[in-house]
């Protein structure tokens, strides 16, 4: 995980209110995402995630899409994107998500009761988005086989007291305006 580690250490920090936010190609699309970094991440996801019997990869828009697309291409597992736009299709399920710096509604299509899914996202920070997604999938009756976030911002989050467990590739914190690696192997 040398490229991911170094790219995080080099990431600029901006403040959104009281929230220190690192700007990174995986979570923001800037600076540009180099193929080697994406390849490194996808290989690590494939090695870390339980992909046996997964029917669908589920990811929230927008920054989980590029990672999930690459994993889908490497594994031939179809991809479902949870959108911020309502389409009104049969079976569409809405959810409300709140993060440290935003809040809004999202919509799930093409996930049904009994589907076995891998939930994949770019960053686990406050846990607001991930908790809303996992609760909605539970409500649908999907079987969440595994859940992976590339980067975890260490500290308390909304999943701490839940039954949901999220694997991560690397855990970081932001101290004095800089990214600090807390666990370069993430959570299993």
> Measured in Å, how far apart are the chain's first and last C-alpha atoms?
15
| Whole-number Å distance between alpha carbons of 187 and 148 | 9
pLDDT tens digits, residue range 12-53? 999 888 778 899 999 999 999 999 999 999 999 999 999 999
* Count: domains in the chain: 1
Whether the per-residue pLDDT at 108 is higher than 90: the answer is yes
| Whole-number Å distance between alpha carbons of 57 and 66 | 12
| Whole-number Å distance between alpha carbons of 148 and 51 | 11
- The pLDDT assigned to 17 comes to 81
Residues 6+ apart with CB under 8 A from 44: 1, 4, 169
Instruction: Tell me whether residue 133 is in a domain.
Output: yes
Whether the per-residue pLDDT at 1 is higher than 70: the answer is no
Instruction: Tell me whether residue 66 is in a domain.
Output: yes
Residues 6+ apart with CB under 8 A from 97: 60, 103, 104, 105, 106, 128, 129, 132, 133
Instruction: Tell me whether residue 80 is in a domain.
Output: yes
- The pLDDT assigned to 103 comes to 78
Beta bridge partners, 37, equal: none
In the block, residue with structure tokens 């980067």? 151
Identify the helix (H) or strand (E) that includes residue 27: helix 25-28
- The pLDDT assigned to 62 comes to 87
Whether the per-residue pLDDT at 99 is higher than 70: the answer is no
Instruction: Tell me whether residue 188 is in a domain.
Output: no
Instruction: Tell me whether residue 65 is in a domain.
Output: yes
- Indicate the pTM of the whole model: 0.94
- The pLDDT confidence band at residue 96, using thresholds 50, 70 and 90, is confident
Please answer whether residues 123 and 153 qualify as being in contact, where contact means their C-beta atoms are separated by less than 8 angstroms: yes
Instruction: Tell me whether residue 47 is in a domain.
Output: yes
- The pLDDT assigned to 97 comes to 74
DSSP one-letter code for 115: -
Instruction: Tell me whether residue 37 is in a domain.
Output: yes
In the block, residue with structure tokens 């993430």? 186
In the block, residue with structure tokens 């250490």? 9
State the residue range of the domain holding 118.
3-183
Instruction: Tell me whether residue 156 is in a domain.
Output: yes
Q: What is the CATH number of the domain that holds 103?
A: 3.40.50.2020
Please answer whether residues 56 and 113 qualify as being in contact, where contact means their C-beta atoms are separated by less than 8 angstroms: no
| Whole-number Å distance between alpha carbons of 137 and 132 | 9
Tokens, residue 84: 């911020």
Buried residues in 160-171 as b, exposed as e (16+ CB within 10 A): eeeebebbbbbb
């Amino acid at each position: 995980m040398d490229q991911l580690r170094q790219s995080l250490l080099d990431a600029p920090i901006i403040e959104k209110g009281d929230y220190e936010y690192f700007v990174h190609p995986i979570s923001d699309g800037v600076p540009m995402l180099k193929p080697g970094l994406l390849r490194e991440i996808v290989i690590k996801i494939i090695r870390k995630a339980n992909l046996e019997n997964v029917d669908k990869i589920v990811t929230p828009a927008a920054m989980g899409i590029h990672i999930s697309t690459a994993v889908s291409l490497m594994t031939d597992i179809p991809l479902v994107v949870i959108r911020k736009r309502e389409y009104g299709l049969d079976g569409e399920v809405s959810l409300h998500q709140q993060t440290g710096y935003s809040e809004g509604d999202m919509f799930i299509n093409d996930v049904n009761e009994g589907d076995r899914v891998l939930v994949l996202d770019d960053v686990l920070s406050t846990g607001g988005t991930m908790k809303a997604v996992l609760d909605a999938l539970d409500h649908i009756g999907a079987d969440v086989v595994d859940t992976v976030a590339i980067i975890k911002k260490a500290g308390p989050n909304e999943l701490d007291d839940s039954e949901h467990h999220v694997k991560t590739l690397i855990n970081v914190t932001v101290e004095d305006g800089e990214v600090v690696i807390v666990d370069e192997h993430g959570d299993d």
